[in-house]
Amino acid sequence: MLTQPDRPAGRGRQLTASPVKQFALAQGLPVLQPESLRKDRSAVDMLARLKPDLIVVVAYGLILPRAVLDLPPRGCLNIHASLLPRWRGAGPIQAAILAGDAETGVALMQLEEGLDTGPVFATARTAIGRLETAAGLHDRLATLGADLLSSWLDRILLGSVQAVPQPAVGASYAPKLAKSDARIDWLQPAQVIERRVRAFNPRPVAETTLAGAQLRCWRAEALPAGSAAPPPGTVLRAGDAGIDVQAGTGLLRLHEVQAAGRQRQPAADFARGRQLVGEVLGR
């Protein structure tokens, strides 16, 4: 089994094994963790000695060179979290939410050297929930992808089905998100900001500032605005329902926030004991 090398994680930045490695070790399976399959020929040679009929790749994060793609007779399969050719690339779940897509899904595709351009064996669709976050959608798509793979794997191994080339039209690219993408621009419409909050949960997490200090926003909901239009970022109400903030158009109700150095908490709890009305976020 291949997975990426252990990476620093947590506040202590301790080297931590991936869930794939932890599972493999618990099952007594051998684990390879090359930094690069292009540079580490020993890992490719070890794969070749295993003589795989087929290789399944899920969220591996490293590019497979032609030497690996050509190893198994039935090729390399990838479970991609979008309805290809829409949202090729590293961030398809976040891109679907940011775009306001009504549905997304998973695609079982044959890997080739292009970026998510290979032919597709099958897809499975699902609606995106009204306030669903990337975290929740990720978990649902993981289950959907596993079910899709299990239902098609035997036929693919037997060679009784053929993958269909992706259509030439409708392709779009979903880049990996950077931390700089997470800063809230209160001039944007509330609906757009809501999508960003949902798309950036669990990472990199949408953020703004309150009195110059970081305030992370984990859950939020767009609301229609009243007749008055104070400056964007102005807190209009704070109470049991949450914290209502004026956006470029409409209001954004914060439901869950996290102050710097604190745990995430309901916005209603954060608001208690604070005079927030009239404060301008992001200033």
Q: How confident is the model at residue 244 (pLDDT cuts 50, 70, 90)?
A: very high
The answer to whether residue 253 is domain-embedded is: yes
Q: Which of the listed residues 158, 190, 215 is the one where a domain comes to its end? A: 158
DSSP letters spanning 122-191:
EEEEEEPPTT--HHHHHHHHHHHHHHHHHHHHHHHHHT----BPPPSSS--B-PPP-GGGGB--TTS-HH
In the chain, the percentage of residues whose pLDDT exceeds 70 is 99
- The mean per-residue pLDDT over the stretch 53-64 comes to 90
Q: What is the mean pLDDT of residues 254-277?
A: 97
Each residue's pLDDT tens digit, 167-223: 989 999 999 899 899 999 999 999 999 999 999 999 999 999 999 999 999 999 999
pLDDT in tens, 17-48: 999 999 999 999 989 898 888 888 888 998 99
One domain for residues 259 and 193:
yes
Does 140 map to a domain? yes
Query: Do 150 and 189 lie in a common domain?
Result: no
Mean pLDDT of 124-128: 98
Same domain, 261 and 187: yes
Read off the pLDDT of each residue in 88-100 and give the average, rounded to a whole number: 97
pLDDT at residue number 227:
65
Instruction: Please name which of 199, 231, 229, 239 lies closest in space to residue 217, comparing C-alpha atoms.
Output: 199
Task: Report, as an integer, the average pLDDT of 275-282.
Answer: 97
Domain count along the chain: 2
CA distance 13 to 253: 33
Residue 267 and residue 195 in one domain: yes
Helix, strand, or coil here: 95?
helix
Asked if the model's pLDDT at residue 268 lies above 90, the reply is: yes
Which CATH number goes with the domain that contains 184?
Answer: 3.10.25.10
Residue ending a domain, among 123, 158, 193, is 158
Instruction: Please state the rounded mean pLDDT for residues 258-273.
Output: 96
Establish if 263 belongs to a structural domain: yes
Asked whether residue 85 is assigned to any structural domain, the reply reads: yes
Q: Are residues 187 and 150 part of one domain?
A: no
pLDDT at 58 over 70: yes
In-domain check, residue 150: yes
The range of the structural domain enclosing residue 225 comes to 180-271
Decide which of 158, 191, 209 is a domain's last residue. Answer: 158
Question: Residue 94 above 70 pLDDT?
Answer: yes
In a domain, 19, yes or no: no
Give the domain CATH number at 133: 3.40.50.170
Q: Are residues 198 and 252 located together in one domain of the fold?
A: yes
Q: Tell me how long the chain is.
A: 283
Q: What is the pLDDT of residues 208-229, one digit of tens each?
A: 999 999 999 999 999 987 666 7
Query: Are 156 and 185 spatial neighbours (Cβ–Cβ below 8 Å)?
Result: no
277 in a domain, yes or no? no
